[in-house]
Copies of this chain bind each other. A is one copy, B any other.
Amino acid sequence: MDERHLAELLDDVAAGRLSVPEAVDGLRSLPFEAVPDAKVDHHRELRTGQAEAIYGPGKTPAQIRDIARALCAQASGAVLLTRADAEQAAAALEAVPDATYDPRSGLVVLQRAPRADGRSVAVVAAGTSDLPVAEEAAGTAGALGLDVTRVEDVGVAGVHRVLAHRADLEAADCVIVVAGMEGALPSVVAGLTSRPVVAVPTSVGYGASFEGLAALLGMMSSCAPGVAVVNIDNGFGAALVAHRILRARER
């Protein structure tokens, strides 16, 4: 796209339809749209396969409304707002009336991508308390057009529970594992399946879990090679990783 655009511009110069200073300006012209307080990066979808998402915290409702409108006007796939509080979600729903809001995870789906054939992800949660993060992952993955299977409450203190789901793990194309406390579930899962494992540490736990640090370091140090980790409580990010993985070998 960028290259086609560049070639056209140069054609115009070669044909005299564009002066050199105009071309310099044109080459400077930005593949983003300035709204108040933000630069909406419309080309991100072209470059990375997924439109820019709006990170809620620290933004005013007005900023969210403006950015949501600008993104939805141009994006062909999913458009998401993350970590929204009630007031921010209301602003988003005002801008995009058929958006949906999940208050436990703070995820607002402003626009959904078309359903992708044959791309499935299993979202596995170690405990019931990890479900809000798992829901952010599952909700995001669904909005991105992926098939989502949920497996919940299969922590390592009862390891037979996850063993019982081996077929589910292998049936998915990619596995997202959400776990707090010691964060050991991804190591067990990665030892059971050949699928890519995206691990999400959560801040569930207290004391020496230090807001998810224990799970984060544990997942990083996993004895099972093939585990890739995203930020603490970052279900959204895990779904984006899965989305990239499932298009890895496409052109």
- B204 touching A232, Cβ below 8 Å: no
Least CB distance from A159 to B in Å reads 5
Give the residue of B128, B160, B182, B191 whose beta carbon is less than 8 angstroms from that of A222.
Answer: B182
Interface residues of A in 126-140 (CB under 8 A from B): 126-132
Chain B residue contacts of A126, Cβ below 8 A: 223
Chain B residue contacts of A39, Cβ below 8 A: 152-154, 158, 161
Least CB distance from A68 to B in Å reads 12
A145 at the interface (CB under 8 A from B): no
A74 at the interface (CB under 8 A from B): no
Chain B residue contacts of A205, Cβ below 8 A: 221
Q: Given A156-B224, A158-B41, A246-B248, A7–B32 Cβ distance below 8 Å?
A: no
Which residue in chain B gives the minimum CB-CB distance to A57?
B129
- A192 touching B224, Cβ below 8 Å: no
Least CB distance from A219 to B in Å reads 7
Least CB distance from A236 to B in Å reads 7
Q: Given A41-B158, A160-B30, A184-B182, A221–B209 Cβ distance below 8 Å?
A: yes
- Interface 9-mer from A93-101, A107-115, A194-202: A194-202
Least CB distance from A228 to B in Å reads 3
CA distance A43 to B120 in the complex (A): 25
CA distance A31 to B227 in the complex (A): 23
- B129 touching A222, Cβ below 8 Å: no
Least CB distance from A59 to B in Å reads 5
Interface residues of A in 163-183 (CB under 8 A from B): 163-164, 173-174, 181-183
- B229 touching A191, Cβ below 8 Å: no
CA distance A243 to B249 in the complex (A): 12
- B192 touching A159, Cβ below 8 Å: yes
Give the residue of B194, B201, B232 whose beta carbon is less than 8 angstroms from that of A49.
Answer: B194
Can you pick out 7 interface pairs between chain A and chain B where the beta carbons lie within 8 Å of each other?
A37-B131, A39-B152, A58-B131, A159-B191, A183-B221, A195-B248, A215-B221
Known pairs A14-B20, A184-B218, A225-B237; list 10 more (Cβ under 8 Å).
A10-B20, A47-B191, A48-B192, A57-B206, A156-B191, A159-B192, A188-B188, A205-B221, A226-B237, A245-B248
Q: Which 8 A-B pairs have the closest CB atoms?
A: A207-B232, A184-B184, A58-B129, A228-B228, A49-B194, A214-B217, A208-B220, A157-B224
